[in-house]
Structure 1
Amino acid sequence: MSCLFCDIAAGAVPADIVLADDDFVAFLDIRPVFKGDTLLVPREHVVTLPELPAGLRDGFLERAQRLATAMVEGLGAQGSFVAMNNTVSQSVPHLHCHVVPRTKGDGLKGFFWPRTKYADAAESADYASRVAGSLG
């Protein structure tokens, strides 16, 4: 059975990659809560957080921290929203952590996640480049 996020991690499906290393890939969500919304995934197919191997836990959190900082430094956000679902509301059955840029008054309330769109591929590539550039 094919997994979209495994295919992105393998380079078989195009995505705006923000971070890539031996264990993890981060890329822009194609239906972002706010522009710059980045998904962090392990390259290994893992469905939920409880299934994440112990050897990947620290690395997963470290990269989420770096992405949270990149939302501020790269996109000028005031902060970030970091979240993941396990099974329920998990649109792709592959562990993924949303790291979303936040600004006071941006309209995000509770657990209602509005979705937006990028104007075109150039705009999404610009957001990916700005986040990636601030990762160092």
Structure 2
Amino acid sequence: MSSCLFCKIAAGDIPSGKVYEDDDVYAFRDIHPKAPTHVLVIPKTHIATLSEANDAALLGTLMERVRFIADQVLELADGYRVVINVREGGGQEVFHLHVHILGGKKLPF
């Protein structure tokens, strides 16, 4: 989707703090971090929100990459939180499915 901020980031049209990239996903540092480590992982395929996702294989790949990035790339051995905000009422601000990885400190509930 040409007007989507995250599609533009994944395409390299907008600079980002890239953490990881492969054929299916792109991961980058959040510009307004809520924890010492705050990375967003997005599918390269545009899906506006989790409630519109209907590709189980893509969702499985996305979550496997989240685990890989958190454990192997970011080395968050002490633990991390994974968050997906869904639609406006759930706190979603950019309408391209994305997973937040938060870590680097003990996180409050």
Structure 1 residues 100, 71: closer, same or farther in 2, change over 3 A?
Answer: farther
Contact 1:84-1:98 at 8 Å conserved across structures: yes
Aligned to 1:98: 100
Structure 1 residues 81, 100: closer, same or farther in 2, change over 3 A?
Answer: same
Structure 1 residues 102, 96: closer, same or farther in 2, change over 3 A?
Answer: same
Whether 2:65 is the aligned partner of 1:63: answer yes
Instruction: Looking at secondary structure, tell me which structure has more helix per residue.
Output: 1
Map Cα deviations across residues 63-92 of structure 1 (whole Å, 9 max, x no partner): 11112214762xx66210111111021010
Aligned to 2:36: 35
Gaps of 5+ in 2: none
Distance of 1:46 and 1:14 partners within structure 2? 21
User: One-letter code of the match for 2:57?
Assistant: G
Structure showing greater Rg? 1
Contact 1:5-1:94 at 8 Å conserved across structures: yes
Distance of 1:71 and 1:80 partners within structure 2? 13
Aligned-residue Cα RMSD (Å) equals 1.9
Query: How does the TM-score come out when normalised to structure 1?
Result: 0.69
Whether 2:14 is the aligned partner of 1:13: answer yes
